[in-house]
């Protein structure tokens, strides 16, 4: 576990373990100081979201034993010789939050993405690989991901959230109801290319195009008995950057605005679980911080902040040190708001002019341009033949070797500050 910087490192607990009272709604001053210091110490001196995300990811990789000497079992190097190659898409199942025995593809995702990617409601994973056995797209729903293929990227789809204001305003249906979202909305929760495929070949754009394909939508529909008519996703960055991997895909995906609320970077496990366990031992039940509805991780984090604020308010009335700590805590919460992002939201209606055509129309319409083969061909044309999206065609007219750039190696460089 990482060390934590306490606001008052000289503070010594005065009570023995068996002398703690069972508090119903409030910690005493001693426990309030301890819990607040633990919470603040987690965030350290991070002044930017990328710094905090890097610290979170490093701890997560160490916890999952992916930090030292990890070797991926997948093919780890290829040479791309022009556009004469194809891709395979494998349905990989779904991963439950907190699952201990992670599949190999999830380990590679963890070593690729700066973001700690969680599961969701009706969550399905797909893995995209490189092949020279054909030059188009093949989708396999019932095969294991072969270790002798090079992984190009990952897709995780789920039912989405009820609190996406740009989506709500764009489709103009009032408040997003759970039954509507679960039945008709599909969220691109994870759209991540491996590196250097992402940077060299605009791989993120390919993975995004595939995520909103007819085939993946139809697979999701059949598996869960849905009628998805809207696909949406949110960028990792938003208000601090004016572009994302989803830009310049207007033919298929439309930018509809930024989320209204800042997405705070939450305290992650094992630190969150340690804090909840510690509180539970002091009579503050874990059930106070458990939610079963949409966005439960966000709600749990906000409830933790609200509870600590309550304890600080109560104890600051008679303890000068708690008053100063309360000031520091509120300042840190303001900093967290400042370093977080309003996400950019993008939507696809699967090629239809109106998002509800397949809800109100007499016939179910499928646009061929949203088929996997068409999407892959479109990406190839833009990258290899037109040199669009800022790519120099000359750079891709020669052999391009690729080997995974994994975070456990990238983080060893003190100057590394990329977020992907």
114 and 171 together in one domain = yes
Greater pLDDT, 408 or 193: 193
The answer to whether position 308 is within a domain reads yes
The answer to whether position 215 is within a domain reads yes
165 and 95 together in one domain = yes
Domain that holds residue 149: 63-263+341-392
Answer for the pair 197, 154: CB distance below 8 angstroms, yes or no. Answer: no
Question: How confident is the model at residue 8, as a pLDDT?
Answer: 37
Q: Which two tokens stand for residue 418?
A: 């990329």
Mean local confidence (pLDDT), 121-134: 93
377 and 292 together in one domain = no
* Spatial distance between the Cα atoms of 38 and 220, rounded to a whole number of angstroms: 42
- Condensed to tens digits (0 to 9), the pLDDT of residues 334-348 reads 777 765 667 889 999
Res 293 pLDDT > 70: no
Question: How confident is the model at residue 68, as a pLDDT?
Answer: 83
Question: How confident is the model at residue 397, as a pLDDT?
Answer: 66
204 and 333 together in one domain = no
Question: Which band of pLDDT confidence, cut at 50, 70 and 90, is reported for residue 51?
Answer: low
Question: How confident is the model at residue 210, as a pLDDT?
Answer: 98
Mean local confidence (pLDDT), 319-326: 91
Residue corresponding to tokens 């010789």: 81
- Condensed to tens digits (0 to 9), the pLDDT of residues 61-102 reads 777 788 887 889 999 999 999 899 999 999 999 876 666 788
204 and 163 together in one domain = yes
Please calculate the CA angle 185-145-400 and round it to the nearest 5 degrees: 95
- Condensed to tens digits (0 to 9), the pLDDT of residues 398-418 reads 889 999 998 878 777 666 666
Answer for the pair 151, 74: CB distance below 8 angstroms, yes or no. Answer: yes
The answer to whether position 233 is within a domain reads yes
Q: Among the listed ranges 239-253, 289-303, 312-326, 351-365, which one has the minimum average pLDDT value?
A: 289-303
316 and 348 together in one domain = no
* Spatial distance between the Cα atoms of 183 and 159, rounded to a whole number of angstroms: 8
Give the chain's mean pLDDT.
82
* Spatial distance between the Cα atoms of 197 and 80, rounded to a whole number of angstroms: 10
* Spatial distance between the Cα atoms of 313 and 325, rounded to a whole number of angstroms: 10
The answer to whether position 367 is within a domain reads yes
Question: How confident is the model at residue 206, as a pLDDT?
Answer: 97
The answer to whether position 7 is within a domain reads no
Q: Which two tokens stand for residue 246?
A: 């989803």
312 and 250 together in one domain = no
Comparing C-alpha atoms, which of 154, 350, 382 is closest to residue 253? 350
* Spatial distance between the Cα atoms of 126 and 105, rounded to a whole number of angstroms: 9
168 and 303 together in one domain = no
Res 252 pLDDT > 90: yes
Res 323 pLDDT > 80: yes
345 and 334 together in one domain = no
* pTM > 0.85: no
The answer to whether position 56 is within a domain reads no
* Spatial distance between the Cα atoms of 328 and 36, rounded to a whole number of angstroms: 10
Question: How confident is the model at residue 217, as a pLDDT?
Answer: 96
Question: How confident is the model at residue 351, as a pLDDT?
Answer: 93
The answer to whether position 58 is within a domain reads no
* Spatial distance between the Cα atoms of 255 and 248, rounded to a whole number of angstroms: 10
Res 261 pLDDT > 90: no
Highest-scoring range by mean pLDDT, 9-13, 130-134, 299-303: 130-134
The answer to whether position 2 is within a domain reads no
Res 21 pLDDT > 50: no
- Condensed to tens digits (0 to 9), the pLDDT of residues 204-247 reads 999 999 999 999 999 999 999 999 999 999 887 655 556 689 89
Question: How confident is the model at residue 259, as a pLDDT?
Answer: 80
147 and 113 together in one domain = yes
Domain end residue (candidates: 305, 321, 339): 339
Mean local confidence (pLDDT), 27-36: 88
181 and 33 together in one domain = no
**How many domains does the chain divide into?**
2
- Condensed to tens digits (0 to 9), the pLDDT of residues 138-173 reads 999 999 999 999 999 999 999 877 778 888 888 887
119 and 169 together in one domain = yes
């Amino acid at each position: 576990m990482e060390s934590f910087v306490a606001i008052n490192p000289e503070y010594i607990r005065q009570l023995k373990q068996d002398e703690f009272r069972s508090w119903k709604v409030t910690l005493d001053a001693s426990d309030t100081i301890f819990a607040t210091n633990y919470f603040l110490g987690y965030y350290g001196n991070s002044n930017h979201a990328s710094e905090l995300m890097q610290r979170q990811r490093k701890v997560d990789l160490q916890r999952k034993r992916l930090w030292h000497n990890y070797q991926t079992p997948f093919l780890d190097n290829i040479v791309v010789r022009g556009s004469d190659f194809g891709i395979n898409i494998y349905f990989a199942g779904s991963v439950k939050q907190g699952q201990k025995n992670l599949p190999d593809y999830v380990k590679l995702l963890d070593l690729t993405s700066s973001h700690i990617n969680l599961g969701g409601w009706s969550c399905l994973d797909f893995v995209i690989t490189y092949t020279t056995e054909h030059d188009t797209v093949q989708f396999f729903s019932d095969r294991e991901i072969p270790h002798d293929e090079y992984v190009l990227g990952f897709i995780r789809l789920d039912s989405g959230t009820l609190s996406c204001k740009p989506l709500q305003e764009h489709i103009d249906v009032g408040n997003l109801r759970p039954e509507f979202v679960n039945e008709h909305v599909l969220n691109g929760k994870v759209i991540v290319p491996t590196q250097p495929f992402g940077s060299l070949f605009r791989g993120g754009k390919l993975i995004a195009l595939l995520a909103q394909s007819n085939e993946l939508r139809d697979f999701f529909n059949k598996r869960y008995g849905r009628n998805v008519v809207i696909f949406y996703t949110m960028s990792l960055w938003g208000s601090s950057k004016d572009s994302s991997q989803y830009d310049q895909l207007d033919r298929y995906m439309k930018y509809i605005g930024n989320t209204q609320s800042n997405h705070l970077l939450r305290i992650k496990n094992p630190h969150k679980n340690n804090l909840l366990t510690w509180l539970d031992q002091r009579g503050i039940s874990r059930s106070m911080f458990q939610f079963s509805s949409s966005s439960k991780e966000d709600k749990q984090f906000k409830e933790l902040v609200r509870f600590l604020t309550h304890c600080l308010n109560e104890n600051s009335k008679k303890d000068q040190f708690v008053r100063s700590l309360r000031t520091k805590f509120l300042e840190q919460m303001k900093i967290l708001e400042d370093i977080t992002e309003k996400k950019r939201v993008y939507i696809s209606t699967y090629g239809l002019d109106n998002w509800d055509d397949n809800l109100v129309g007499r016939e179910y319409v499928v646009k061929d341009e949203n088929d996997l083969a068409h999407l892959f061909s479109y990406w190839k044309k833009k990258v290899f033949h037109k040199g669009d999206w800022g790519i120099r065609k000359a750079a891709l007219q020669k052999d391009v070797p690729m080997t995974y750039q994994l975070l456990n190696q990238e983080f060893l460089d003190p100057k590394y500050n990329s977020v992907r």
